[in-house]
Amino acid sequence: MAEAAYLLIALDRNTPAAVAGQIRKIPGVVDAHITMGEFDVVALVEQAETKGFPGVAAAVQRVEGVSKVVTCVVVRP
């Protein structure tokens, strides 16, 4: 079973649809949704192992308009 994490993404400008579209193209990103609140986009990421999450988060951070990325790994009992 793949490991999963949610990336909470804050933007520095008001273009969430365009940024979410770019994030969806990053390998490992299953989907990205525009949200309201402290974070502008939430992305679901799946990787074979948790050690793959930092690379995906770094790729998201490089997308123009992204100012902050917080990774929340899904914990399964």
pLDDT digits (tens, 9 = 90+) for 12-21: 977 899 999 9
Whether the Cβ atoms of residue 1 and residue 57 lie closer than 8 Å to each other: no
What letter would DSSP give residue 28?
T
Fold of 3-73: Alpha-Beta Plaits (3.30.70)
Element (H, E) at 33: strand 29-34
3 state DSSP class of 75: coil
Max CA pair span of the chain: 38
Whether the Cβ atoms of residue 53 and residue 45 lie closer than 8 Å to each other: yes
- Global pTM reads 0.93
Q: Where are the domains of the chain?
A: 3-73
Element (H, E) at 3: strand 3-11
Q: Is pLDDT at 38 greater than 70 in this prediction?
A: yes
Can you give the pLDDT at residue 51? 96
